[in-house]
Structures are given as structure tokens and as C-alpha cells.
Structure 1
Amino acid sequence: MKKKIIMVLLFVSLICIQLPSYSVYAIPNKPLPHSKVELYQDVFCSLLMPYIQKSVGDYYTKFLTDVPTVAPWDIDILNVERPDGYRTFFFVIKIQVRPYVGPHLDVGIDRITITVDGIGEVKVTKFEHIKSYYLELPPNYQNIIKKNITTNYQSNITK
């Protein structure tokens, strides 16, 4: 009986050794802390921040009296492409952001597509609003929701 238990434990340990192990930080789109990739991503996001913030502000001013903020450390880079081929300098960047108001109260999730060309021209080419949270703000932040939005929302619920 002891031999069978030892054999099973040996077999299980051999299988476990063969399985790939993943770092806690091996999450897609999240570089390792203090790495060059993280440094470059932070520079990259910092340079794009005015365009990101403007597109978020343009969208949310229809619904809120305060313009939400996007935290540069909370930008998920979904994809970066060179559609014109290797070593060309036209890039299509797709990101996801979680704008917030006040003490980091999320108001939504948005996907933004940005193009950058080799001479420094940056354009937001697509803004997709994925999910809204602004109607779920706590009572002390309900005053920033534009009135016509809550009225329309309430009338849609009662129908």
C-alpha cells in the first residue's frame, strides 16, 4: 500500500513539474513593474493623455456636469498595430479606460481607437462607450448627473 501511495505522489509531482508556471504579473497588457516595457508604456500613455482626456470629456459632458478624469496608470492598451507594414510609422492604438469622478468613482468603461502618424499627428478615430456607471453614483454625487438623463432613465424603467 505504501508503494502505491509513493508511486502516485511521484507521478503527481512529475506532472506538476511539467506544467508551465506563470508569474503573478504575467497578465496580458500589464507589463512587469519597473521594466522597460512599463516605462515605455507610461511615456506612451502620458503623450496620448490629452487626446484620451478630451474624447472622454466630449462624451460625458452630455450626461454629467463634471468632466471625469482618466488615470494614466489605469489605461489598458488592448492592441497596437502598424497597418502599413514593418518599420512604417503609422500606428493604430486601441485602449480601454475607466473614467472616474471624485474619489475614483467609476462612471463607465470606454474603448478608444487612436491613430498616430510619423509626423506626430494624433487623432481619436473611434470612441466606444461600453458600460455606464454614472447612474449608480452615491447620493452625494447624484447632483452631477444632468437632470434630463435621470428623467429619461426613470421613464424607461417604468415602461
Structure 2
Amino acid sequence: MKKKIIIALLFASLICMQLPSYSVYAITNKPLQHSKEELYQDIFCSLLMPYIQKSVGDYYTKFLTDIPGVDPWNIDILSVERPNGYRTFVFVIKMEVIPYVGPHLGVGVDRITITVDGTGEVKVTKFEHISSYYLELPPNYQDIIKKDIKTN
């Protein structure tokens, strides 16, 4: 009887080892709450915030009189790569942001690519506007839309 139980347990463990396992991080692309990954992501989002905010401001000043804000906790990191290989210190960070005005009224979705090198140089290498929501702002925020944009 003990042999049958041991064989059954071994068989079950072999089957379980063959099944793919996915962490919550891998499925949602977001780190687990209170994890070191979340802490590190929050740190580098905070350090990159001036560059993120400037690129968002540069884009939206063509369309809005108010510069939208970006919340550091609402940045979705799409990927982080080391283009020069393992343990090199050039990083390419791709992220998605949702800039807002007023009480968090989203004005669009943007993808930003930032390159950071080992000397501390930070450069926004790509700003890609994905979609716009600013024309759908509520009536009390319509006055921040630049007039020449509404007619296009």
C-alpha cells in the first residue's frame, strides 16, 4: 500500500513539473504588491519622472493650454532591456502613461522609450502618442483645448 502511495505521489509530482507555471507578474506585467520588484520600479519611475513629465508636456502643449500631469504609480513598464548584453549599463525602458488634467481626467495614452546609461545620462529616445481623449473632456474643461485644434 505504501509503495502505491509513493508511486502515485511521484507520478503526480512529475505531471505537475510538466505543467507551465505563471506568476502574477508574468501575466499582468505588474510586480506583486509590496515586492522588491515593485519597490525598484517605483524608485526608477520616480527618478525618471522629470523626463516623462517633460516629454508629455512637450507633446500636449500643441493641443492644450494646461500641461497634463502623470502619476508615477500609474506608469505601466512594458519592458526593460540591456541592449549591449548582460551586466552592461545601458538600459532601454519602454513605458505607457496616461496623462491627465484636473481631477485625473485622462487626455490620452502615450508610449515613451527612455535610454539610461551607466554615467547617469537619461534621454527620451521615442515618444509615441497612442490615442487622444482631450476632445472628450467635460464642458468645464473644454476651455483648455486650444481653439485651432477644435476646428481640425
Q: TM-score, normalised by structure 1?
A: 0.80
Q: Which residues in structure 2 correspond to 1:1-150 (within 5 Å)?
A: 27-150=27-150
Identity within the alignment, % = 84
Q: Which residue identity is paired with 1:123?
A: K
User: Secondary structure, in 3 states, of the residue corresponding to 1:143?
Assistant: helix
User: Secondary structure, in 3 states, of the residue corresponding to 1:67?
Assistant: coil
Mapped partners of 1:136, 1:27: distance in 2: 32
**1:126–1:150 distance in 2 versus 1, CA, 3 Å:** same
Contact 1:135 1:145 in 2 (8 A): yes
Listed as ranges, the gaps of 5+ residues in structure 2 are 1-15
Post-superposition offset of 1:151: 1.3
Post-superposition offset of 1:25: 6.7
Mapped partners of 2:51, 2:107: distance in 1: 19
Q: Which residue identity is paired with 1:102?
A: G
Deviating 4+ runs (over 3 angstroms): 18-27
User: Secondary structure, in 3 states, of the residue corresponding to 1:59?
Assistant: helix
Contact 2:64 2:146 in 1 (8 A): yes
**Number of residue-to-residue matches in the alignment:** 137
Measured against aligned partners, the alpha-carbon deviations of 1:88-147 in whole angstroms (never above 9, x if no partner) come to 000111000000000010000000010000000000010000000000000000000000
User: Secondary structure, in 3 states, of the residue corresponding to 1:119?
Assistant: coil
Q: Which residue identity is paired with 2:56?
A: V
Listed as ranges, the gaps of 5+ residues in structure 1 are 1-17, 153-159
**1:102–1:90 distance in 2 versus 1, CA, 3 Å:** same
